[in-house]
A and B are shown apart, each in its own frame.
Chain A
């Protein structure tokens, strides 16, 4: 029965691998066990294959391998050093996006007013609403100005980083 590994097989393989022939009880077992004989035959074949000469071939230059390894190592070090900067870059973009959304929500009325002064249709609408007293006309707040500066700065920094990349 070959489907199951014989309990003596590893011992027989180890003996063969050590360059010895199984002796005594093991030899007797091997002569009667097809599984062990097959395993020993495979070990023998593998060792014969290992002795088969490989074709004549120019080996890769060790100096090239050495410098390639140094280069790869240097890149790996650089990658590790740059990793926090890369993370910061992503954090900057995320912060900018969150800041922009927060700013728009916070200054929604001021922004609408600013836009309406630029776009005539909106301006007309704004004038009507102001005249009917539905919403009081207020000057631009300090928050709107500072927020605009902050978001504008973030956008400029982001564009600068993108162009630099």
Chain B
């Protein structure tokens, strides 16, 4: 799975790449620069979808190692970032499949690492909504979390999401619609979502 995804990633990457540019491996300075710019954001993403700092560390390392093993035809920051997040999503899903963990149980009580309890949400405010949505998100399937994040936070295209999740691009809009409905439904149960009319 992992090797397949890397291959898909390279293929999709080459579609965005400058045709004449030869694909080369990242140099150490390029990697350091990339890590400085996107490392924390990637860790944050992995932390939010796993709910666990140790897993986020491991997956971050694996993601960069995978990126460093693949010759890149472009150094465009936006494309490389999108590719990096796609690798990370793929590795995270692979990790859940391999370990049979959903990332839900361990994220429910991560020993003080996660957001404050939703009891504070009764006071209202963006921060409380954030906490509640963040907690509700962790009740969803890993694939749904990755899907929503890649589409609505990273703004990835459907074909990139499809490549990361190993599904057909045509399935992504439907999967996204279902994931949005599920999140809204879960939040509605907590008295947060928009009312269905």
Contact = CB atoms under 8 A, between A and B. Distances in A.
A62 B31 contact: yes
A50 B180 CA distance: 16
Given A38-B194, A46-B149, A66-B28, A5 B174 contact: yes
Given A54-B48, A57-B53, A17 B155 contact: yes
Interface string A50-80: 1110110101101011101110110010000
B134 interface: yes
Interface in B118-172: 126, 129-131, 133-134, 137, 148-149, 152-153, 155
Contacts of A50: 149, 153
A43 interface: yes
Contact of A48 (B53, B133, B183, B184): B133
Contact of A57 (B43, B64, B137): B43
B32 A62 contact: yes
B69 A49 contact: no
Interface residues of B, number: 45
Contacts of A65: 31, 35, 61, 64-65, 68
Interface residues of A, number: 37
A69 B174 CA distance: 37
By secondary structure, the B interface counts as: helix
Interface string B53-74: 1000100110011001100000
B53 A62 contact: no
A5 B129 contact: no
B177 interface: yes
14 contacts: A5-B173, A34-B197, A37-B194, A45-B183, A48-B130, A50-B149, A51-B130, A52-B115, A57-B53, A60-B61, A62-B35, A66-B28, A69-B65, A73-B68
A42 B184 contact: yes
B196 interface: yes
Contacts of A41: 184, 193-194
The list of the 9 closest CB pairs from A to B, nearest first, reads A69-B68, A46-B152, A42-B180, A54-B44, A45-B133, A69-B65, A50-B153, A62-B35, A5-B177
Given A9-B177, A52-B134, 5 more contacts: A2-B196, A17-B152, A45-B187, A55-B47, A66-B68
Interface of A: 2-3, 5, 9-10, 13, 17, 34, 37-39, 41-43, 45-52, 54-55, 57, 59-60, 62, 64-66, 68-70, 72-73, 76
Contacts of B61: 60, 64-65, 68
B180 A38 contact: yes
Contacts of A73: 68-69
B133 A49 contact: yes
A37 B36 CA distance: 37
B148 A42 contact: yes
B68 A38 contact: no
B181 A38 contact: yes
B134 A49 contact: yes
A57 B36 CA distance: 15
* Residue of A54, A55, A68 ringed by the most chain B CB atoms within 10 A: A54
Contacts of A5: 173-174, 177
Contacts of B64: 62, 65, 69
